[in-house]
Copies of this chain bind each other. A is one copy, B any other.
Amino acid sequence: MSTIIDGKAVAEKVLAECGQQIEELQTRGVVPGLAVVLVGDDPASKVYVGSKVRKCAELGLHSRKIELPADATHQQVLDVVHELNADPQIHGILVQSPPPPQIDEDAIVRAIDPAKDVDGFHPENVAKLALEDSSGYVPCTPAGCMRLLKEAGVETSGAEAVVIGRSMIVGKPMALLLMSKEGNATVTVAHSRTKDLVEVCRRADIIVAAIGRPEFVTADMVKDGAVVIDVGINRVEDASAKRGYRLVGDVAYDEVAPKCSAITPVPGGVGPMTIAMLISNTIKAACQSQRA
């Protein structure tokens, strides 16, 4: 029997911890603040930003939504970031990805004060992750995956882990976390150029799928009893669905799940964790700003 790792429940647990920390901070007169910058009117981005702001409000965090038009210049976005860097009420800054093409996203990320970079994408935080310096901010999705493994009671130390995908958003940071002194896993990073991907995946005790291809990981790629973390969220056309599509992960869930000792579903697995880790990072930033 495979355990379905309930990302919603774990996210609730993380957010409950966050709630306690927020109360503690408030007794010291500190209200953690998150600023979310949205450039343009991409419908999916609007939904993401909306749910982040709503979650902040629920928890008693200060949040600020800054909307810029789709034709905003790079300098305008930079100006907003600089203002937020200087604002003591704001502890975390997030510029919703992807911005319109006239915006140089890398330069925007580099402009964010690393101490407020709750997305964990600033080079300073990338380096801290590689150097195992815990004062940095870990990108929310891999941080969420690690927490799911922990809550599901999965021992990473000594385990063979295969991360499929080598992006700086998920794959590489996930690999760095798993191979750190805390993770202690034997980590393989597989990707589009991996020759015998089936064979590579079959040796994994833990698979983290982050390739962005619907139902890419099939049953033949999974060892009996493996733990599977599915980072993918893909839209697949489905005439029978109300919206005309359904969401599927990078894992062919129906055929893979029966082989696993534990697996995250899509939706309801990694997804809910991302926002919980974002809030958690923002509280960490607020705490660290008090010490600074």
Which residues of chain B come closer than 8 Å to A176, judged between CB atoms? 130, 172
A105 on the interface (CB 8 Å rule)? no
Q: Is the CB of B186 within 8 A of A191?
A: yes
Q: Is the CB of B186 within 8 A of A189?
A: yes
CB proximity to B under 8 Å, residues A183-197: 184, 186-191, 193-195
Identical copies in the complex: 2
Q: Tell me the complex Cα distance, A124–B126, Å.
A: 9
Given contacts A130-B130, A131-B126, contact A194 B200 (CB under 8 A): no
CB proximity to B under 8 Å, residues A112-168: 123-124, 126-128, 130-131, 157-160, 166, 168
CB proximity to B under 8 Å, residues A174-226: 175-176, 179, 184, 186-191, 193-195, 200
Q: Tell me the complex Cα distance, A108–B267, Å.
A: 47
Q: Tell me the complex Cα distance, A188–B203, Å.
A: 12
Output the least CB separation between A99 and chain B (Å): 18
Which residues of chain B come closer than 8 Å to A187, judged between CB atoms? 188-189
Q: Is the CB of A184 within 8 A of B188?
A: no
Q: Is the CB of B123 within 8 A of A168?
A: no
Name the residue on B nearest A194 (C-beta): B186
- Residue with the greatest number of chain B CB neighbours at <10 A, chosen from A124, A176, A186: A186
Q: Tell me the complex Cα distance, A130–B125, Å.
A: 11
Given contacts A130-B172, A200-B186, contact A193 B157 (CB under 8 A): yes
Given contacts A123-B128, A126-B127, contact A184 B179 (CB under 8 A): no
- Residue with the greatest number of chain B CB neighbours at <10 A, chosen from A126, A127, A194: A127
From the candidates B127, B159, B191, B195, name the one contacting A123 in the complex (CB within 8 A): B127
Which residues of chain B come closer than 8 Å to A126, judged between CB atoms? 126-127, 130-131
Name the residue on B nearest A126 (C-beta): B127
Q: Is the CB of A179 within 8 A of B191?
A: yes
Q: Is the CB of B186 within 8 A of A188?
A: yes
Which residues of chain B come closer than 8 Å to A124, judged between CB atoms? 123-124, 127
Which residues of chain B come closer than 8 Å to A191, judged between CB atoms? 179, 184, 186
Q: Is the CB of B179 within 8 A of A189?
A: yes
12 A-B pairs with CB atoms under 8 Å apart are A123-B123, A123-B124, A123-B128, A126-B130, A127-B127, A172-B179, A179-B189, A186-B188, A186-B191, A186-B194, A186-B200, A188-B188
The 10 closest A-B pairs by CB, nearest first: A123-B127, A188-B188, A126-B127, A127-B127, A184-B193, A186-B194, A158-B195, A179-B189, A126-B130, A158-B193
Other A-B contacts than A127-B127, A158-B193, A186-B194, 9 sampled, CB-CB below 8 A, are A123-B128, A126-B131, A158-B195, A160-B195, A166-B179, A175-B189, A184-B191, A186-B193, A187-B188
